[in-house]
Structure 1
Amino acid sequence: MGGRNTEVRYICPTAYDSSVYLVNGKILIDAGMSSDLIIKQLEKYIKLTDLKLIILTHCHYDHTAAAAIIAEKSGAEIGIHKADLQGVNDEYLSVSVLFGDRAPAVKPTITYEEGDKIDIGNGEQLEVIHTPGHSQGSICLYEPVSKSLFSGDTVFPGGGFGRMDFDGSEPEKMLSSVEKLIKIDVKTLYSGHGAPADRDGNNQIMASYRMLRMMMGV
């Protein structure tokens, strides 16, 4: 699945893990929790050592817990937005307590900020869009050639959006975060949970925006 060039493999090991996306055979977006299952899936498509970078869309345990083992076995670097760098190792900000576990021992080596461009090969880049709300350092990643948006837990297909009742959530920032997303041209929406929506991404995001406005009474 993907656009004109971008090759995206969708991996969902269990119902509780985040969605995991292998992009162009060398970039992983989010890492889920079940490292053995995810590595087994990855090895269907690539040699594990071909993996160069794991980008975490935010610091929550269900997206990050497997990252340390995958990075150790592949040699990949790990990147996260600078506002979630501390949270990834904090059992409350990472919400690992909700999973009955300690915070993962993930050690990101790269930090991102709004507007950063991440080279993913094939002449393509992911643009970092800082979308606080679900967590302080939540990001979405936009690839303009295929019009793909990796939205983490900011928005989901069908009008959904991320919970805002966790430690580190910033509900007052969520609306302006989603407003950023309705301004870009999105065909395929790859969200942090559930299968990708490979048509009318813009309509999906607009539905999330409307639902959010309704919930907030604005």
Structure 2
Amino acid sequence: MKPIRIVAPPLAANCYLLADEKKALIDVGGDIEFILRAVSKYIDPKELDYVILTHSHYDHAAAAGHFKGLAKIAIHRDEYSLIKAQGFTSFMFGVSFKPFEPDIMLEGGERIELGEINLEVIHTPGHSPGSICLYEPEKRWLFSGDTVFAHGSFGRVDLPGGSARELIKSLEMLSKLDVENLYPGHEDIVEGNASRHIANSLRIAKMFL
């Protein structure tokens, strides 16, 4: 089974539905009605077990609070501290979130078992302090949020909590993984030899950050 990509408003964030024995949605976008309609094409949203947030930026996470009680919401501890300190508001973009308490506070190193798909949580700060990536070692899939993208691109570091130094360290860590398919938070999916794209992103980041 392959991840189901859902491109969600307001900024065309890639969300991924994993419909295994347990069902997970990686990132949710900012429009709850849209994401529920999209998920409903494949499963009843009430069947969701997990909502896993790669980070807290509004284009990936603003709809997350609406899933409280429907699925277990997982987010990194540092990322939750950031969004809570900001009052669940993206001041730069003037967007407010529905506040929520996470069900699972991640640290990095956890394993989220869905059935055939088992995700390893990797803490990858840089784009934001609590950004995470999710790695499936058997299938060699990487869900990278806004840490790394296809074609040598990588996440911006000029938003609150961003750090060029930390992003480069995170890219160095990801470059050591064997990644076949890359499922980033925006733009193109890479199917086949995705490690090459991560290596290019690291090389370019070291040149410009």
Percent identity of paired positions between Structure 1 and Structure 2: 40
> Of 133, 146, 149, which aligns to 1:156?
149
Q: Report the residue type matching 2:4 in the other structure.
A: R
Task: Summarize the alignment of residues 102-117 of structure 1 with structure 2, pairs less than 5 Å apart.
Answer: 102-117=96-111
Q: Distance in 2 between matches of 1:35 and 1:66?
A: 5
Give the Cα–Cα distance (whole angstroms) in 1 for the partners of residues 188 and 205 of structure 2: 21
Matched ranges for 1:63-142 at <5 A: 63-72=60-69, 75-91=70-86, 96-122=90-116, 124-142=117-135
Task: Tell me the amino acid that sits aligned with residue 125 of structure 2.
Answer: P
Could you state the TM-score of these two structures normalised by the residue count of structure 1? 0.89
Structural RMSD (CA): 1.7
Deviating runs (4+, > 4 A) in structure 1? none
Q: How many residues align?
A: 207
Alignment of 1:146-185 (within 5 A): 146-185=139-178
**1:135 positional shift:** 0.7
Distance in 2, matches of 1:19 and 1:126, equals 17
Deviations 1:62-105 (Å, cap 9, x if unpaired)? 11111111344xx101001111112223438x671233222441
1:143-176: CA deviations, max 9, x gaps?
Answer: 0121100001100001111110111112221111
Match of 1:3 in 2: none
Whether the 8 Å contact between 2:121 and 2:135 is mirrored in structure 1 is yes
Is 62-71 or 174-183 further displaced after alignment? Answer: 62-71
Unaligned runs of 5+ in 1: 1-5
Name structure 2 gaps, 5 residues minimum. Answer: none
The alpha-carbon deviation at position 48 of structure 1 amounts to 1.0
Q: Distance in 2 between matches of 1:145 and 1:24?
A: 17
Deviation at 1:215, TM superposition (A): 0.7
| Structure 1 range deviating more: 83-92 or 107-116 | 83-92
> Deviations along 1:21-52, whole A, 9 cap, x unmatched?
00125101011101111111100000111100
Please give the residue correspondences for 1:51-66 in structure 2 after superposition, counting only pairs within 5 Å: 51-66=48-63
Instruction: Tell me the equivalent position of 2:19.
Output: 24
State the one-letter code of the partner of 2:19.
N
